[in-house]
Structure 1
Amino acid sequence: MPSPERAAHKTSLPDLRTIVRRERFLGLTLATCLLVLLFEDWVFSGLDNPFHLVPVMAWLFFVVLATAIGVVRHAEALSERLGEPFGTLVLTLSITGIEVMSITAVMLHGENNPALVRDTLFSVVMIIMGGMVGISLLLGAFRHWELTFNLQGANAYLGVIIPLAAFSLILPDLTLSTAGPTLSPLQKVMVGAMPAGLYIVFLLIQTGRHRGYFAQPTDEAEDEETHEGSGAPALFHVLLLFSYIIPVVFLVEQFARPVDYVIETLGAPATIGGILMAILVTTPEGIGGVRAAMNRRLQSSVNIFLGSVLATIGLTVPIMLVISSLLGLDLELGLEPADTLLLVLILSVSFVTFSSGRTHVLQGAVHFLIFIAFLILSYSG
């Protein structure tokens, strides 16, 4: 049991110099926001010049990614105080909140992109369940041979993700009441209410009577690396969490402007916008998930990755359906045939991977190769 002195140290506020050093990227983010606000015409007026376009895109991408990592860092600090499964729940909800607000901001900016929500949702599923799960299983297996997780928790995630993904991304292609990959008003109500309702029920079992389903089932977690916490109280991390979230949403909207230019003027695939947005919002938590797998805590990786996919579908779909209906915007959710095949494939492989309670290197290789196929098909069609 920790001593009173150590407990007091854990909740003491760091000195100003330490705070400035740790939050230096927040200063960079705020400076970038101020620069865009004051010199907007200069920043975005020369996009037809590659020597101006590339640095602007690279700089905004770097700043948004660094800011999102700051969000994850403070969400993880809160998660250490809350424990599982509340910890990963804070993390996934923070990232999903950024995603929802960013998509809304981009949809309200410039020309309406009816497929943006679909492309972002699909990209999140493929990047997380293909690339990030694959990398985590590969690196974890190379280091520990086999990794264990709680089978009941993984099954609970997949049992909700699979039907929600089918209703949100496949059903619109099969309905006959409207033209194209869209839904009628009644179908929108059904597709919007179902993810929200199931996600609420899932949260009740995750934080209530079945919390044990989402905890590491063995003593392997005792071998994990230990890290010294920041020593700051929870309120400090909550305030900085929102301090990072607000500017990152603004910068994502600005980042969409050169991306739109590349898509519309240079003829790049339209899915690039959704893929880039998905990378921005998933990479920071992906780092945490890979780190957990390397430390032999695969259950934390499962909670982060599958929880993020579930939160993305369970929250983004109903919110965006409501927003698009209120604003009179078109919303295309149905996938193209090749993307539908990839979605069914990654969900099926995930069901097999998380059906035994143990994972090994072959499963990681399969997930990662499906992710590579997704990238190739996204570019070549």
Structure 2
Amino acid sequence: MIRSFITRTDLLRVALGWGAVVALLALHPLLAPPVPGPLLVVALLAIVAVILVCAFGVVKQAETLAHRLGDPYGSLVLTLSIVLIEVILISAVMLGPGEHATIARDSVMAVSMIILNLVIGLALLLGGLRHRGMAHNRTGTSAYLSMLVVLVALAFGLPGLIGHGGAYTVGQEIPIIVLTLVLYAFFLFRQMGAQADDFTEVDERLRPAHTAANAAPRTPIRAVLAAHRVEVLTRLVLLVVTVVPIVLLSHDMAALLDDGLGRLGAPVALAGLLIAGIVFLPESITSIRAALNGEAQRVNNLCHGALVSTVGLTIPAVLLIGMLTGQEVVLAESPANLLMLAVTLLLSVTTFAAKRVTAMHGAAHLATFAVYVLILFS
């Protein structure tokens, strides 16, 4: 029965991804900086090619699960799989040798700009051009943005005002950790429970025929899991084992990117931006495909949901590790980046206050991302 859910292509993608991870470990001495130019280019191209192949495998499983489970549960599977692995890797870096005071700040900032401006901008632009305008569930979108305004302020703004050197004091860290985790847990509890309908599509054309015609209530998630337990578990495992190599390869290529960009005189933060973009490539592809299908709320669930989870899990994790290991965790952002975060959040609230999002909204988000890249080179 399991074989009916797993194709030969799926297995080849998994084998390719993990084979590349093993190959990088074996070739580590040859890829230690400074790497010869030709070898550096070949290694980076090979890693990106493997990541792309694996990313499309993740997208396939995510879309199948989304169809089976329905939103918001389908989107949550992909979001939490990627975010949890990313949080674990950031935590592992902090627990390793060396000083990594700003790794959480830099990583989450890059992810924020990529998701809120680049991915959403592309999705709205392409989806808007195809469908003229896309309706979304404004109640669910408002919930995401409310969470982001609070979590981003706690993460990047407040430590610069009440902390020391851009970091919270120990006495401040404990309530911030508790507050962030409680707020995030309550959000998930409501999203997967009483308010699940707030995160579903509102466009009648995108609903199943029987639901649109008869307004019949959808099948409860427990009933879906009971009826399709083997398929859901199989696809979930396949999704995770396909996405792990993407994250591992992305972090392994960090040293190669630092080496190559350093020779070109590019800013150090650009490497973090590129890596964050690659880590969230499966979600980016899925979001753009959803927009092309007119599924505006799924774009919200994937993008805003990913960022809520990233901030809600990463910040408490690194603060806790900092407390236990005695490391200083610098979270306060620069004035320029704080301005871009404020502009991005204000633009997001303005965009999704509309009943229908359009290509013009997408263009505004893309322009904001371009300004952020300009700041990186300033």
Is the pair's TM-score, using the shorter chain for normalization, greater than 0.5?
A: yes
> Within 2, Cα distance between the matches of 1:260 and 1:112?
17
Write the letter of the residue equivalent to 2:316: P
The amino acid of 1:290's aligned partner reads I
The answer to whether the aligner puts 1:35 opposite 2:20 as a matched pair is no
- After alignment, is 74-83 or 122-131 more displaced? 74-83
* Partner residue of 1:362 out of 355, 360, 363: 360
Distance in 2 of aligned mates of 1:330 and 1:69: 38
Q: Which residue of 2 aligns with 1:14?
A: 4
The one-character-per-residue Cα deviations of 1:102-130 (angstroms, maximum 9, x if unpaired) are 32344455643322211111111111111
Matched residue type, 2:331: L
Partner of 2:188: 203
Report the Cα offset of residue 196 of structure 1. Answer: 1.3
Amino acid at match of 1:13: R
Can you give the 5+ residue segments of structure 1 that lack an aligned partner in the other structure?
1-10, 225-231
1:185 aligns with 2:170: yes
Distance 1:296 1:250, change over 3 A: closer
3-state SS of 2:280 partner: helix
Local SS of the residue matching 2:115:
helix
Please give the alpha-carbon distance, in whole angstroms, between the structure 2 residues aligned to 1:222 and 1:270: 45
Give RMSD over aligned pairs. 2.4
- Aligned sequence identity (%): 32
> For residue 332 of structure 2, what is the aligned residue in structure 1?
334
Q: Distance in 2 between matches of 1:169 and 1:67?
A: 33
State the match for 2:268 in structure 1: 270
Shift in CA distance, 181/61, structure 1 to aligned 2, threshold 3 Å: farther
Q: Cα deviations across residues 126-164 of structure 1 (Å, max 9, x unaligned)?
A: 111111111111111111111101111111111111111
Q: Which amino acid aligns with 1:348?
A: L
Q: Distance in 2 between matches of 1:329 and 1:68?
A: 34
Q: Separation in 1 of the partners of 2:42 and 2:323?
A: 37
Give the counterpart letter for 1:39 in structure 2.
L
8 Å CA contact 1:74, 1:241 repeated in 2: yes
Judged with a 3 Å threshold, the aligned counterparts in structure 2 of structure 1 residues 26 and 47 are, in CA distance, closer, same or farther, namely farther
Pick from 28, 38, 43: which aligns with 1:51? 38
Q: Cα 1:115–1:263, aligned 2, differ >3 Å: closer, same or farther?
A: farther
**Secondary structure at the counterpart of residue 193 of structure 1:** helix
In 1, the alpha carbon distance for the partners of 2:245 and 2:305 equals 25
Q: Is the 8 A contact 2:33 2:255 kept in 1?
A: no
For 1:284 and 1:35, locate their aligned partners in 2 and report how far apart those are by CA, in whole Å: 22
- Asked whether the 8 Å contact 2:251–2:275 carries over to 1, the reply is no
Aligned residues of 1:47 and 1:261 also touching (Cα < 8 A): yes
Structure 2 gaps of 5+ residues are 210-229
1:228 corresponds in structure 2 to none
TM-score, structure 2 normalization: 0.87
Distance 1:274 1:238 in 2: 28
Shift of 1:267: 5.3
What one-letter code is carried by the residue in structure 2 that aligns with 1:40? H
How many residues align structurally?
A: 358
Task: Measure how far apart 1:73 and its partner are.
Answer: 3.2
Structure 2 partner of 1:7? none
Per the TM alignment, residue 46 of structure 1 is displaced from its structure 2 partner at its CA by: 5.8
Worse-superposed segment, 246-255 or 122-131: 246-255
Distance 1:102 1:64, change over 3 A: farther
Distance 2:254 2:91 in 1: 12
C-alpha distance in 2 between matches for 1:247 and 1:360: 35
**Aligned partner (choices 71, 74, 78) of residue 84 of structure 1:** 71
Alpha-carbon distance between aligned partners in 2 of 1:19 and 1:85, rounded to the nearest angstrom = 26
Determine if contact 1:223/1:295 at 8 Å carries over to the other structure.
no
1:206 partner amino acid: Q
Do the aligned partners of 1:289 and 1:301 also contact (CA within 8 Å) in 2? yes
